[in-house]
Amino acid sequence: MADGKVEFELVSPERLLASRAVDMVIVPGGDGDFGVLPGHAPLLSTVRAGVILVYEGREVSDRIFVAGGFAEVTRERCTVLAEVAMPVSEIDTGKTEQDLRDARDDIAGATTDSDRDAASRRADIAQAKLEAVRRSTTH
């Protein structure tokens, strides 16, 4: 571990998105956002749909959208295993808006609880992606 840094690793089913020493990471945990600095107390948390903020110095160097998964924090490391992960800059707003409309149509037409739940999850993720894009353009 680099002195005064925390090792950050973000893995999705498709790829390794990050593996490097950073100054701080803010993760959208299941019970609320939490920041990780070197020496953090050990922690396991679920990850909700939101944006991981990676800090280099006092500046945000990366904004990464995540949805679902788990975060493990030790004194030296923060590892996030996310079901969905992508840099906010790679979110296609038009496609995501269409995904949201499609998911809402699927919710309305669902004939089983399982279908309704799956469509609702897709809608929640699409809505969170759109919010992540909106926030990144205002900050």
Q: What is the pTM of this model?
A: 0.89
Span between the terminal Cα atoms of the chain, in Å: 30
Could you list the beta-strand ranges (E) of 12-114: 16-22, 24-29, 32-36, 43-46, 50-56, 59-73, 77-87
pLDDT for res 135: 86
pLDDT for res 102: 96
Helix (H) or strand (E) holding 98: helix 93-109
pLDDT for res 84: 93
The architecture that CATH gives domain 6-89 is Sandwich (2.60)
Per-residue pLDDT of the chain (139 residues; tens, 9 = 90+): 557 899 999 999 989 999 999 999 999 999 999 999 999 999 999 999 999 999 999 999 999 999 999 999 999 999 999 999 999 999 999 999 999 999 999 999 999 999 999 999 999 999 999 999 998 876 5
Give me the residue spans of the domains in the chain: 6-89, 91-138
pLDDT for res 139: 57
